[in-house]
Amino acid sequence: MAASPASLIHPSRIPNRWVQLVAGIVAMMAVANLQYAWTLFTKPIQAHLHVSLEAVQWTIVLFVALETWLVPFEGFLVDRIGPRFMLGAGAILAGLGWIGSGYAETLYGLYFWYGLGGVGAGAVYGGTIGNALKWFPDYRGLCVGLTAGAFGIGTATTIAPVAAMLKTSGYQHTFIFWGIIQGVVVLAASLFLARPPIGWTPPNWKEKETKIKAKVRTSAVDMTPWEMLRQPSFYVIYLMMTMLAFGGIVVTVQLNPMASSYHVDKVVVLWGMTALVVAITVDRILNGLTRPFWGWVSDQIGRENAIFISFILEAIAVYALLQLISRPVWFVALSGLCFFAWGNIYSLFPSITGDLYGNKWATTNYGIVYTAKGVATAFAGPGAAWLFAKTGSWSKVFWAMIVCDVIAAFMALLWLKPLAARVVRNSELAHSPADVVPAIKARGVA
């Protein structure tokens, strides 16, 4: 079989894996605004184009659908040719997405350009997460969490100037100006990425592998996407990620309309900033910090246990926010807690995907799991806006979030955990000498 282009890169010319991790983090921070600053643009777009909130929110649904549903294909290309080319293409498309949105004068024009940005953001997201999965099997939860966390925290570094520019220059100029900056930054970061050489393992891998398997279930096989799709565990993971993504995306895309409904959007709470701007800043910081934090926790106690603990906490935070959302300080604090308990799905689910289905096709496999975010967004964007318009209240949306969190938390312990154990046990059976098989079977029964 002919070697792929990426495998022909001499190891001495591949940047250090920690340098690549930093480059991936920078790239993710640069595309974060496309999703996490969106809530600031909804009302100005609505006023300029004279359309309903529900119609405007279909923009973010299209964005997330293209960002997520194309990631399996983009991930396949990353697995085959490496991340550098894909991130370069993603940089151009993500930049054009915001620039074009700034020039769009119709709703359908906005849909087209923001959707194009979604294709670019998906290429960046899938490429950087996949690269972290491949380079860091010894620190998977932490390093995937740091990379995914950059997507969560990136907006926090720019939300204040973006909000200020929206007020002084309008949303169209803001789109164009920041679209150029974000595209250039991602393009520069892409030059530092390359996939590991064939057969590469981290230093002292054998000793590390033994310690990791004592805490986290790790499969001994590299499953292709088709093999993964034949595993019952995949469908449990997919359903859980859809349910858990729903609540967080509601808070992400509907925070501005929610704040307006409860009359806290214009209340100044800190250094001349309104409760909404402070909340978005705090939310994005905690949304970034939660991913490496819970990734590290899951490295210590197991992925399923981390999912259970964090989403019971999420359910409590959402319930408290429902009770106290009309109080500006509590609005800031509790929306932040919601993000801290929710954002970890973007470190926990890629990690468990790599654990159970292997490294070789990790980018493609997680790309398929990641499409669950697109499914969830259809309910969290226009679905939640429709329910609010029909009932005149956000309370039913909050209760839907709470129910999803609690059900998925218990699914992690009662359903996913035994299925994951079965995947690992079957992989060990397939790769063990005949005289060891009875002991593995006996351990599975026990």
Residue 163 has phi, psi (to 5 degrees) of: -65, -40
Report the 3 state secondary structure along 67-111.
HHHCHHHHHHHHHHHCHHHHHHHHHHHHHHHHHHHHHCCCHHHHH
Helix pair 275-301, 232-261: axis angle to 10 deg: 160
10 Å CB burial of residue 446 (0-12, 13-18, 19+) is exposed
Residues 6+ apart with CB under 8 A from 301: 215
Q: Does residue 85 belong to any structural domain of this protein?
A: yes
Question: In this structure, how many other beta carbons lie within 10 angstroms of the beta carbon of residue 368?
Answer: 23
Q: Does residue 214 belong to any structural domain of this protein?
A: no
**Spatial separation of the C-alpha atoms in residues 137 and 17, rounded to whole Å:** 12
**Spatial separation of the C-alpha atoms in residues 185 and 175, rounded to whole Å:** 15
pLDDT score recorded for residue 101: 96
232-240: average pLDDT: 96
Q: Evaluate whether 252 touches 307 at the Cβ level (below 8 Å).
A: no
Q: Does residue 34 belong to any structural domain of this protein?
A: yes
Q: Does residue 29 belong to any structural domain of this protein?
A: yes
Per-residue burial over 65-82, b = 16 or more CB atoms within 10 Å of its CB, e = otherwise: bbbbbbbbebbbbbbeeb
Q: Does residue 327 belong to any structural domain of this protein?
A: yes
For residue 273, the 8-state DSSP code is E
pLDDT band per the 50, 70, 90 thresholds, residue 195: confident
* 46 token code pair: 């609505």
User: Looking at 100-114, 137-151, 426-440, which range is the least confident one?
Assistant: 426-440
pLDDT averaged over every residue in the chain: 87
**Spatial separation of the C-alpha atoms in residues 445 and 439, rounded to whole Å:** 10
pLDDT score recorded for residue 433: 52
Whether the CA torsion 143, 144, 146, 150 is positive or negative: it is positive
pLDDT score recorded for residue 40: 86
Within 275-327, where are the H helices? 275-301, 303-324
Radius of gyration from C-alpha coordinates of the chain: 22
pLDDT tens profile 132-148: 988 998 888 899 989 98
Residue 7 clears pLDDT 50, i.e. is over it? no
Give the residues across from 438 on adjacent strands: none
More confident: 437 or 73: 73
**Spatial separation of the C-alpha atoms in residues 148 and 289, rounded to whole Å:** 10
pLDDT band per the 50, 70, 90 thresholds, residue 431: low
**Spatial separation of the C-alpha atoms in residues 358 and 218, rounded to whole Å:** 8
Question: Which is nearest to 405 in space by CA: 302, 309, 286?
Answer: 309
Q: State how many domains the chain has.
A: 1
pLDDT tens profile 272-292: 788 988 888 888 788 888 989
Q: How many residues does the chain have?
A: 446
pLDDT band per the 50, 70, 90 thresholds, residue 253: confident
* Type of residue numbered 266: K
**Residue 384 lies in domain:** 16-195+227-425
Residue 270 has phi, psi (to 5 degrees) of: -155, 120
Residue 391 clears pLDDT 70, i.e. is over it? yes
CATH number (domain holding residue 256) = 1.20.1250.20
For residue 154, the 8-state DSSP code is G
The Cα angle at residue 178 between residues 175 and 183, in degrees rounded to 5: 115
Question: Which is nearest to 409 in space by CA: 343, 310, 341?
Answer: 310
The Cα angle at residue 337 between residues 331 and 339, in degrees rounded to 5: 100
Residues 6+ apart with CB under 8 A from 105: 49
**Spatial separation of the C-alpha atoms in residues 88 and 127, rounded to whole Å:** 10
H helix or E strand, kind and range, residue 215: helix 205-215
Q: Evaluate whether 124 touches 275 at the Cβ level (below 8 Å).
A: no
pLDDT band per the 50, 70, 90 thresholds, residue 88: very high
Residue 5 clears pLDDT 50, i.e. is over it? no
Question: Which is nearest to 356 in space by CA: 229, 195, 220, 199?
Answer: 220
Residues 6+ apart with CB under 8 A from 360: 79, 222
Q: Does residue 218 belong to any structural domain of this protein?
A: no
Q: Does residue 259 belong to any structural domain of this protein?
A: yes
Q: Does residue 160 belong to any structural domain of this protein?
A: yes
More confident: 2 or 312: 312
pLDDT tens profile 12-56: 567 899 999 999 999 999 999 998 888 889 889 999 999 988 789
